[in-house]
Amino acid sequence: MCGRFAITLPDDAMARLFDAVPGNDLPAVPRYNVCPTNDIATVTSADGQRRLRPMRWGFLPHWYKSPTDGPLLINARAESLAEKPAFRAACRERRCLVPATGFYEWTKDADGNRLPWYIHRPDDAPFAFAGIWQDWERGEARFTTCAIVTTQANAALSSIHHRVPVVIAAEDWPLWLGEAGKGAARLMTSPPEDFFAFHRVSTRVNSNRVEGPELTEPIDPDAE
């Protein structure tokens, strides 16, 4: 799964990277502890134009009567995306990219303590998660919401978690965004074995109230 991530790329750099027009209401960056229900920057495409726009992380199906009417759907499994009632229309019609510079996963020690790991490109280059999105409205409440697509972890990451976010390579952005015809389903695979590096980080990131670049810095597990 993917329950926390980091994005440190400035808005103008994100807009250039994705060749997208940035919105005026994008969430502040850098952010080292992006949590569910936060607004996040996403990339969508329509009518020949890409947009960099904010969405609420946590997909709300149209039948939810309130944002808390059911489970918080921050992830969507690639294997069942096309069949799940909550996601099947979005996976065909409303796909997006979620820019990131890293994400967190947790293991547990013998006492059940949650131990965080930071997963990132070896060169710390930004990348893009596969996402799907949905508008949700009840009365005066209106949200544009999204979920990050996940798949089975590759061998390199399976020691940390059995699921991993789907990463869309730059050359495949047009296909995922619907600009290059059909066939996006073939992109929902785990990343190459050498795509990510990872290291233990401080348990301070376990709190959704903590921010700062020190959250991504490696630690000596024995010294914590």
For the entire predicted model, the pTM comes to 0.96
The sheet carrying 102-108 orders its strands as: 31-34, 4-7, 102-108, 114-120, 197-200
Domain region containing 15: 4-223
What's the pLDDT band for 223 if we cut at 50, 70, 90?
low
Q: Do 39 and 6 touch, CB atoms closer than 8 A?
A: no
pLDDT of residue 221: 73
How many structural domains comprise the chain?
A: 1
- The pLDDT of residue 224 is 65
- Average pLDDT (115-125) is 97
CATH number of the domain enclosing 83: 3.90.1680.10
- Count the Cβ atoms, other than its own, within 10 Å of residue 184: 19
